[in-house]
Structure 1
Amino acid sequence: MRATRRLALGLAAAPFAARAQPGRYPDRPVRIVVPFAPGGPTDVMARVLSAGLTAALGQPVVVENRGGGGGNIGAAHVARSAPDGTTLLVVSTGFVVNPSLFRSPGYDPVRDFAPVTELGASPNLIIAGAQSGIRSLADLIAAAKARPGGLDMANPGTGSTPHLTAELLRLRAGIEFVQITHASAALAVQSVLGGVTPAGVAALPPAQPHILSGAVRALAITSAERWPDLPDVPTMQELGYPGFVSETFQALLAPAGTPPAIIDRLAGDSFATLAEPATRARLRAAGFGVEPRGPAALAERIAREVPLWRDIIRQAGIPSE
């Protein structure tokens, strides 16, 4: 499978390198806006990418954190920026969730952006504290049914894929619990780690180190297949929930109207950065599956996931903000 992905990566990158004729681009430093605070998974991905693009483009590529509004503030800023390839955006799945979660997110995910490429994706994990007494998904469901509405579940933010994954669990398992929202993925995991909340849902990168140390127990993973670094953690599908697959993806975008030659250049250089063995190993160790597939595939993903998450938000009865 890994060999196939490497082959696909090389084949997919070739057209971008061949077509791109961006002339003097870039003739000044490039900014990558991350619409979240430093230290989260999206920020980690952006900083890995910026190092590779700095070398490839011959200009400094700096990461600028513009947090707030669940990612809306940073995304809206890039949507209004000049389409010259010097202001870019690295986003997570919240980019396609927020248009259904907020009445006025400040951007349109299709109209206002030019897709460059997906960068990577991470499944979500249903986790429990090592001292919680919850050792399996069946234990979690039993605890929730024993005290309807009495079980607290941590998540990293309203509208995040872990939050919506927990809602999907609630709907599919027919249980009730209280969602405890935190300001970041790290804080949500720390809440479970410290026993403040007995369980929660988190993306793989912030949870994996604590799972490997034994401080947090992974009950289930939401990937289509078991994760190579956590081979003992069953998928939700294995546990009797067909189609229960959710992940947090990271992607690179530019403002709408950015010239195709610049998009091709950025896509090709991003592919080359992520193809480096040391970079792939670093990201894999951090819990990312590296899956760059170019502008067309990212456009398809955005078009597919906007209505997907809208339906889950509607079914869960989450009000717009």
Structure 2
Amino acid sequence: MNKPNFHLWRAAFHRLAAAALALSTLVAVGAVQAADAAASTYPDKPIRLIVPFTAGGQFDYIARLVSVPLGKELGQTIIVENVGGGGGNLGGAKVANAAPDGYTLLEYGGNFAIAKHLSPKLTFDPIADLTPVSGLSIAPHVVLVSSALPVKTFGELLAYAKAHPGKLNYGSPGVGSSMHLTFEAIKQHFGLDAVHVPYRGGSNALNDLAGGQIDVGIVAVAPAMPFITSGQIRALAVTSAQRAPSLPDVPAVSELGYAGFESGSWAGIAVPKNTPPDVVNRLNAAIHRAMRDPQLLHALESQSFKPIAGTPAQMRQRIDEESAHYGPLIKRLGLTSD
């Protein structure tokens, strides 16, 4: 029997390995070139903007307001699609699992920055599985009291709580909402004694506050304005870094002894991870131009929204800071679900 020629076998093996390497390199280069080509023509079809909440709320308002000038900047129609449920997580999962091609956008907010702390068993990672593009806007919350309560300033509220231990309660739009966590941070800093009464939405809390069923409330500024102007409730403080344009006589919490404090309902745009950097940059530039639209700016200011368009890195920093800030508070309050 002839012995195998190992020199020939080894040479053949090396030729085969070299051919396989060359083929894999060609495939990789082809994939990169295809991605680059797709990015260079982006966008060439309509884009979906997923709003992770039902129609009619703040997120929906911002999305529909921004979609018009953003569509003009990109030269494509922006189709706003509401995917509510799970505190925003159903819509977030839909975008996280979408193709990373820039044609499915997510209106990203602070709810995603804290979602893993509230629900560790999510089917997606609301931070790692999404790439930030740019911030859009932030709207402050406002601390309110019923007109039936003998309190006209935040200082008087603290004094009343101290004089009536265990008597005060406060309403928010729900457990784990940004308003709930914001007021808990305020309570902790000032030593304010008040029991939380969660509602299924800000409008319900406002109605009960106006009717005197609860003493204190915290909601977004815009929906509270009709109640404030009618005198049914009193505004004591806003949670923005500076005073809200629509409430110039109401101090910010940072003025009242909580230096540097800022909180609010913020929104931005994110895309699935692995979206090409050129697409992310194209979107970011278009958002910056769209957010300078005079009509959009006027509409935002009239509702006490502040534009926060910035870089992807700045949005990432906002997400990380919010997660780090509220994570320990969520744990301390025992809000984490199994």
- The answer to whether 1:108 aligns with 2:125 is yes
The corresponding residue for 1:53 is: 70
The corresponding residue for 2:233 is: 216
For residues 203-238 of structure 1, the C-alpha deviation after alignment (integer angstroms, 9 at most, x for no partner) is 223223433443331111122222233121112232
- The answer to whether 1:43 aligns with 2:60 is yes
Distance 1:205 1:191 in 2: 17
- 8 Å Cα contact 2:300-2:306 kept in structure 1: yes
Distance 1:106 1:127 in 2: 37
For residues 247-283 of structure 1, the C-alpha deviation after alignment (integer angstroms, 9 at most, x for no partner) is 2211110111111121112111111111011110111
Structure with max Cα Rg = 2
Percent identity between matched residues is: 38
For residues 172-229 of structure 1, the C-alpha deviation after alignment (integer angstroms, 9 at most, x for no partner) is 2223322122222333333323333221111223223433443331111122222233
> How far apart are 1:146 and its partner, in Å?
4.3
Range that drifts further, 237-246 or 215-224: 237-246
Structure 2, unaligned runs of 5 or more = 1-36
Q: Secondary structure at the match of 2:301?
A: helix
Say what the alpha-carbon RMSD is for the aligned residues: 2.2
1:229 to 211, 231, 246: 246
Distance 1:50 1:194 in 2: 37
TM-score, normalization: structure 2? 0.82
Q: More relative contact order in 1 or in 2 (CA 8 Å, sep 6+)?
A: 1
Range that drifts further, 208-217 or 303-312: 208-217
Q: Secondary structure at the match of 1:23?
A: helix
For residues 39-65 of structure 1, the C-alpha deviation after alignment (integer angstroms, 9 at most, x for no partner) is 221111111111122222333212111
For residues 2-54 of structure 1, the C-alpha deviation after alignment (integer angstroms, 9 at most, x for no partner) is xxxxxxxxxxxxxxxxxx99333233322111111212211111111111222
Range that drifts further, 248-257 or 183-192: 183-192
2:331 to 303, 314, 317: 314
Q: Secondary structure at the match of 1:201?
A: strand
> How far apart are 1:317 and its partner, in Å?
4.2
1:28 to 21, 32, 45: 45
The corresponding residue for 1:193 is: 210
TM-score, normalization: structure 1? 0.86
- 8 Å Cα contact 1:151-1:178 kept in structure 2: yes
The corresponding residue for 2:149 is: 132
- 8 Å Cα contact 1:274-1:280 kept in structure 2: yes
For residues 96-123 of structure 1, the C-alpha deviation after alignment (integer angstroms, 9 at most, x for no partner) is 1111111223332332011110001122
The corresponding residue for 2:107 is: 90
The corresponding residue for 1:247 is: 264
Matched residue pairs, number? 302
Distance 1:273 1:187, change over 3 A: farther
2:84 to 55, 64, 67: 67
